[in-house]
């Protein structure tokens, strides 16, 4: 059965995920280093992992696979779950696949190198209503792809 895994620390679209999951009767795992309020729904599970780098990412990557959807801004996590056959989306609705993960890692590394060299780079754009709408459309499409892949 298709499940949605949410890398929940700083995820701005948790409410949208809950609505889609309730409508489609999907299980949701909200994974974070600290407790986050979630709706009272037997299909939504809050998973609190230990503090530490990549602990939440490891929990998700060990469980998500073909037929699942992962919501994350973390490009390395997206790469790991895509390699396992899961669908991966950013909160803005960007679909990660084998090709886009490589490009995203390269861009992230380039920006990290520029910042360490003292170059000022702009941060992420403010999250907009258009981003939410794009995310909802992408999530719906990803869930349908995941369900087909799970068969």
What are the b/e assignments for 75-88, b being 16+ CB within 10 Å?
A: bebbbbbbebebbb
**Residues whose CB falls within 8 Å of the CB of residue 49, separated by 6 or more in sequence, listed in order:** 31, 32, 33, 55, 56, 59
**Greater model confidence, 52 or 49:** 49
Does domain 3-122 match CATH 2.20.28? no
Q: How far apart are the first and last CA of the chain?
A: 9
Average pLDDT over residues 25-30: 97
Note the pLDDT of residue 108: 61
- What are the pLDDT digits (tens) for 118-133? 877 666 678 889 999 9
Token digits for 99? 């090709």
Percent of the chain residues past pLDDT 70, beyond the cut: 89
Note the pLDDT of residue 117: 82
* C-alpha to C-alpha distance for 137 and 23, rounded to whole angstroms: 14
The answer to which of 61-70, 72-81, 103-112 has the lowest mean pLDDT is: 103-112
- What are the pLDDT digits (tens) for 79-104? 999 999 999 999 999 999 988 776 66
């Amino acid at each position: 059965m298709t499940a949605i895994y949410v890398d929940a620390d700083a995820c701005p679209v948790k409410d949208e995920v809950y609505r889609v999951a309730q409508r489609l009767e999907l299980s949701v795992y909200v994974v974070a280093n600290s407790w986050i309020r979630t709706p009272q729904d037997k299909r939504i599970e809050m998973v609190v992992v230990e503090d530490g780098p990549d602990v939440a990412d490891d929990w998700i990557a060990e469980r998500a696979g073909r037929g699942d959807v992962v919501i994350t801004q973390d490009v390395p996590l997206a790469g790991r779950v895509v390699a396992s056959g899961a669908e991966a989306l950013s909160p803005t609705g960007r679909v990660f696949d084998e090709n886009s993960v490589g490009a995203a890692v390269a861009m992230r590394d380039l920006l990290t190198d520029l910042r360490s060299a003292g170059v000022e780079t702009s941060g992420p754009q403010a999250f907009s209503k258009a981003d939410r709408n794009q995310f909802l459309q992408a999530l719906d499409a990803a869930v349908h792809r995941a369900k087909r892949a799970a068969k």
